[in-house]
Structure 1
Amino acid sequence: MKILVIEDDKTAGPYIVEGLREEGHSVDLLANGQDGLIQATVGAYDVMVVDRMLPGLDGVSLVKTLRGAKNRTPVLLLTALGGVDDRIEGLDAGADDYLVKPFAFGELKARIAALGRRPQMAEEPTALRARDLEMNLLTRKVTRGGTSIDLLPREFALLEHLLRRKGRVQTRTMLLEAVWDIHFDPQTNVVETHVSRLRGKVDKPFDRDLIETVRGAGYRIDAE
């Protein structure tokens, strides 16, 4: 299996890595939570072993961020905090298993093997793209041609919805339900106003428009 270990303890980290490599696994080690989060999004891992207390970004927050971005890689959370409430917090964050320090390596190995045997759910992407536009769902950053674009939360949600359905027309009713959670016609131009604002940031400063108006139907992101 390909395993990512995020552990800042200078003794525990190399010890875990050495033991897992001896078992035939491919293992990467990082000691910072923020660096580990980035690596988790660019590498295709079968299992992650994450220490709860990490510099940069703690393990619980790291797992929450991954799950929020629809990354379903199985996570074994390591911690020196063995209380019931601590375990519940880690599992509620999205961890698949929990192992309290100190632990026997044999148990760690068995738990990782069990996680690796679980059927994997299809992962959703952590980044959405259309031509030279990229949306990072983890960092909530949007760029076009390398230029950063600042979006308000509703603008981000609108663009995300369109990008996830790239090439498909989204009607006004679809957008109201998906972005505003409105299931009736409010008789306002809220959709039109937000699309116009989004175009002002995503299209107007650049050479080619991405957001298309399909007359009498709705809007779509250019899929070419």
Structure 2
Amino acid sequence: MSYGLKLTTQGGSVFNFPVLPEKIQVESQGNHTTVSVIGVGEVLQLGGATLQKITFNSHFPSREAPYVSSLSNTPMDCVSFLESAQASALPLTLQLSGGALELSQTVGVENFTYYEQGGDVGDVYFSLTLRQWRLHSAKTLTLTSDSTAVEDTTATRTEPEVSSNVYYTVVSGDCLWNIAKSHYGDATRWSDIYAANKEVVGSNPNLIYPGQELLLP
């Protein structure tokens, strides 16, 4: 199996990192606290593990090179994908395969910084921090007569809604007018798409980029 690192969106779009990072750091911390007990001293209260943090640095190349696995996107297309993923507030699936460290983790983009450096004009260097994401739901607790909190198993539980949202991944040459015409048969509904994706697109509806995931209301 070849060594690869990719992110997959909820809509099924796959983003392959074109240059594999030299180091991928996975950080797991214990969620523990220390307390002082009279007659005993300091003791450790174990609280399980916090969410994992995955950090790595690499770059998005503008030219072919032996170490570049794919050059299907421009550096700024790659930047737009990660910024859109962060703005969407939807989890992603990170997959690392082919090496001793294999990951398949549901994550969110916690921090993304990028820059261009002199002597390498055109390439975009970046640092990316991903945080593990866990599906969670609230539990209903009731107090017994001795003030002990117990889970109320008779309470009505609300099942998580299955999303029926339709997403469209922007490709090169797209505009909101054409997307609306193709999806609705009515190009004037571009404003509906823009209203639903203002946080992703930004202040100018004429500027959309390949890799962006747009909700089609």
Larger Rg computed on CA atoms: 2
Give the structure, 1 or 2, with the largest relative contact order (CA under 8 Å, sep 6 or more): 2
TM-score scaled to structure 2, two decimals? Answer: 0.27
Question: Of Structure 1 and Structure 2, which has the larger fraction of its residues in strand?
Answer: 2
Which protein is richer in helix relative to its size?
Answer: 1
